[in-house]
Chains A and B, each alone.
Chain A
Amino acid sequence: MEKHKPPIKIISPGSCYRNENDASHSPMFHQVEALVVDEGVTFADLRDMLNIFVKKMFGEDIESRFRPHFFPFTEPSAEMDIICVKCHGKGCNLCRGSGWLEMGGAGMVDPNVFDILGIDSEKYTGYAFGLGMDRIAMLKYKIPDMRLLFENDVRFLKQFK
């Protein structure tokens, strides 16, 4: 946004790094982040976009929901959950009984961010969200352990064409 004026629609996949390493966390993993800035972009656009994404990725019967949350760069901020793909909301060990799985964070871009970048925050609004790709792959293909994604065992790799 420093270099380009709105309208902006970006999808940006990339590697992320965190100091965690277990069956559901890897020190290097992948996220897809999106940023949409234009006149008239609303919270409903964000809600819809993620809702449609979830259904396309996991199936028409998978519902999603937003929860209030906090990120310094979005206001309002939210986290999105999807209905647990394993038990469909009944509660199981994958969703730890809650029936929902956390998908990622989202929100409307905080006007402060626009102000700092010299974009008119009255005129332009935007949304952003981030999703974990490894996590989505694990849910979609029922892969139980994140380390399998980096172990590179050909008996695992060959299962995916």
Chain B
Amino acid sequence: MKISYNWLKQYININLPPHELEEKMTFAGIEVEAVEKLGAELEQIKIAEIVTHKLHPDSDHLSICEVNDGSETVQVICGAPNCSAGQKIAFAPVGSEIGEFKIKKVKLRGVESYGMICSEKELGISDNHEGIMELPADAPLGSSLTSYLKSDDVSYDVEITPNRPDLLGMFGVARDLSAILDIPLNKPQISLQESDEPIEQMLALENIAPELCTRYTARMIKGVTVKESPEWMKKRLLAVGLRPINNVVDVTNFVMMEFGHPLHAFDYHLIDEQKIIVRRAHKNEQFPALDEETYTLQENDLVIADTNKPIALAGIIGGENSHITESTKDIVIEAANFLYSSIRKTAGRLKISTDSSYRFERDISDETAELASERAVQLILELAGGKLLKGKLDSYPNPVPKRIVAIRPSRIKHLLTITLNPQQIKDYLTALGLNFKTEKPDRLEFSIPSYRKDLVREVDLIEEVIRLHGYNNVETYLKTQNIMDREIFYARRQVADILVNNGFSEVKNWNFGDPQDLDKLNLSDQDDRRHNAVLKNPLGSSFSIMRSMLLPHLLHNTLFNLNHSQKDLKLFEMSKIFLRKDEKLASEKLYVTGVMTGQLHDTFWKEKARKIDFFDVKGIIEQILDSLLITKYKFENSEEPYFQPGMGADIVYRNRKIGMLGKIDPKILDKFDISEELYSFDLDLETIFMLSSFLDPVFKEIPKFPPVLRDLSFIISNQHSYTDIVKMIKTVNPGIIKKVELFDEYIGKNINAGYRSLTFSIVFSSDTKTLTDEIISQNLQKIIEKLKQELNIEMR
């Protein structure tokens, strides 16, 4: 539904600019879907004056004018018969846009024209294209047409929720806004001058379907002049997306948009035997509607009929056989109400949807019908003249008494937590049109106006109170208390899961440690891990410190299992280690340590069993860090005293050591009575979690162009690490070299000692274009050049 800002201003004095009003409507519960600035298309059209006028020498209908638009005078060719010097006109200068096309300098029959003098049709104001639009002599020169015509309006496209049919008209919206904004509401003044002729003498009414038609009123006006509506009426209708037709029909549409209650007008002389019958349709009755379709009706469809034929499909659409035409002199105004479910069923079955059916389907009010009728009649008298017959025909079989609903201030506090005194509640609800009836302890009773059928129970009134008070004015009082860090909780589980999924078993050892284990691992006296918390009353000397490393216990676990014929072991422990330097209390840090020995996988007849090696442990570390979104870490030669020389690596991230991995020196393992090969790894989870930012991934566009793969094989000295090679290759063209992976390594015949042959697989991919063979070859060349230059490679 469309709402016009200017129209609303007729009922409430809005001081807010259009976009602020939009926000207020949203907070009233009226959802604004789109806002359109009307008249914008006429902004560029200026009010100008024809200074001189003469006929075109080479044409019999063109004239050459000098047009002054307030800032300059230009020559304009005009093809209209009615242009003359001294006229004020609507002028579209060069560069302005009118409708679909842009005004340019043109030459007509050899004479140049800089701009266009417009007709009403060209401006979209009316269908008049007989000549140019003439403006009054006092029209301000140079002003834009929009501000002169006051057609600058703002139209809001809104969504009204199904529980608020009272908002399906400008006045209803204004009424709600007056309560929300706490400003007075200007109701349209209605005073009718009736003639002496009673309507009963001219027209009869019979409602034989009172269960479907809950009210039917009819008024009559004799002697109207059906013609075009005045400008103000047309503007109002256009602003809300309706097409002006003639003054009588326009008034019915206007009042429908004003009060949200549809009306209909009949040509009195087309009503056979001057009798209106509200009845169900006959089976297969034919009805020719205003939309030029003929509908086949059934017995559940409600019609407005005369003694011979249906003249309207009640509440949905009028008939072709009874509508207002230019020759209509006497009219009947219908204002009625129908059972919403009946309208919905009929409209649904016949697949008709009109502004009228839309409103009746939402259950509108019997009382508003009467108000709408009076308003319509007043406007028709004003616009079309005529004489209003005395009285109205009114079939109102079951008037519904006004509902009384009570609200308890204590319940408002109970449900909404806001405390309001009775006066505040009264102010809010009476602003919406409710009538305050009685006050008792903790109970205020209100009579509900007929247009608010949605207010039935206390909780409905409570919703109105919070709506006016402001949904966002409810005080918040919940405070969150972080008892634990969820992210770390889940990250810990994630790390453990990865290890378990790699075939590890989680072990749990006592936190008591043996200082002699630290000796066995060759830790120096200055090593931090020697600063232990010592127990005053240990179980024994092997349990005399709080352990500062998890490795020793894992080695004991390994021995235990080896002694029980379990040779293939992958064990890990995730626990706190304890360090105590000079502080009173030891510090605790979360670590995960793992050991691996024996076969990598369980024996499987199809695959050759293989022993665990360094790269398996490295792979585990990479999986874990990868899952924590840590990617920019390095491996450096480890100084740990228990790794086999050259077989240990420290993991460094953001300049801090976050762990280590490697093959344990057999001489050290011997001290633990272990004669098998064993690898271990450690991760300082405490530090890792502190350094990781638990950032959310950000979507990266998927490349639209296919990638290209190329292999590169070369011989290279062992002194260059794989990481360095990859890095160097990528720097050649980081934009398109997306991935570099080691494919194969070959040491042996034909390769000198200290050298190896490596094959890399390189993936090229571009986000912006398909990569041609030429581009790929060029890049490969560059890579080879660079590797030759920096790393002294030899191509294979």
Contacts and interface: CB of A to CB of B under 8 A. Distances in A.
Interface of A: 40, 42-45, 47-49, 51-52, 65-70, 75-78, 108, 110-111, 125, 140-144, 148, 153, 155-156, 159-161
Which residue, A47, A51, A68, A140, has most C-beta atoms of chain B within 10 A?
A68
B27 A160 contact: no
Contacts of B476: 44, 47-48, 51
A26 B476 CA distance: 35
Contacts of B699: 141-144, 148, 156, 159
A110 B161 CA distance: 17
Contacts, number: 94
B86 interface: no
B436 to A, nearest CB: 21
B17 interface: no
B497 interface: no
22 contacts: A42-B417, A44-B474, A44-B475, A47-B471, A52-B478, A65-B471, A67-B471, A68-B467, A69-B29, A69-B161, A76-B466, A77-B463, A110-B459, A141-B696, A141-B697, A142-B698, A142-B699, A143-B699, A148-B699, A156-B702, A159-B697, A161-B697
Nearest to B471: A66
Given A76-B466, A155-B703, A161 B626 contact: yes
Contact of B702 (A52, A67, A155): A155
B477 interface: yes
A43 B472 contact: no
Most buried by B among A47, A140, A141, A142: A47
Interface centre among A42, A141, A142, by most B CB within 10 Å? A42
B26 interface: yes
Interface of B: 26-29, 31, 161-164, 414-417, 457, 459-460, 462-463, 466-467, 471-472, 474-478, 480, 626-627, 629, 696-700, 702-703
A43 B163 contact: no
B interface secondary structure, majority: loop
Given A47-B476, A111-B459, A68 B28 contact: yes
A47 B476 CA distance: 7
Contacts of B467: 68, 76
Which 8 residue pairs across A and B have the least CB separation, nearest first?
A68-B29, A70-B161, A48-B478, A76-B463, A66-B471, A44-B417, A43-B416, A143-B699
B772 to A, nearest CB: 22
A44 B477 contact: yes
B416 A42 contact: yes
Of B466, B626, B699, most A-chain CB atoms within 10 Å: B699
A70 B29 contact: yes
A65 B476 CA distance: 12
A121 to B, nearest CB: 9
Contacts of B460: 75
A92 to B, nearest CB: 16
A142 B700 CA distance: 9
A67 B416 contact: no
Contacts of B162: 70
A159 B700 contact: yes
Contacts of A48: 476-478
Contacts of A70: 29, 161-164
Most chain B CB within 10 A, of A43, A77, A160, is at A43
A72 to B, nearest CB: 8
Nearest to A42: B417
Contacts of B28: 68
Given A43-B415, A43-B417, 10 more contacts: A44-B417, A48-B476, A65-B471, A67-B26, A69-B31, A70-B164, A76-B471, A78-B471, A111-B459, A155-B703
B471 A141 contact: no
A155 B704 CA distance: 11
Nearest to A43: B416
Contacts of B459: 75, 108, 110-111
Contacts of B477: 44, 48
B629 A161 contact: yes
Given A42-B414, A43-B474, A125-B414, A140 B27 contact: no
Nearest to B180: A68
Nearest to A79: B31
Contacts of A75: 459-460, 462-463
A45 B702 CA distance: 42
A43 B29 CA distance: 17
A68 B471 contact: yes
A43 B476 CA distance: 10
A110 B459 CA distance: 8
A110 B463 CA distance: 11
Nearest to A40: B414
Nearest to B465: A76
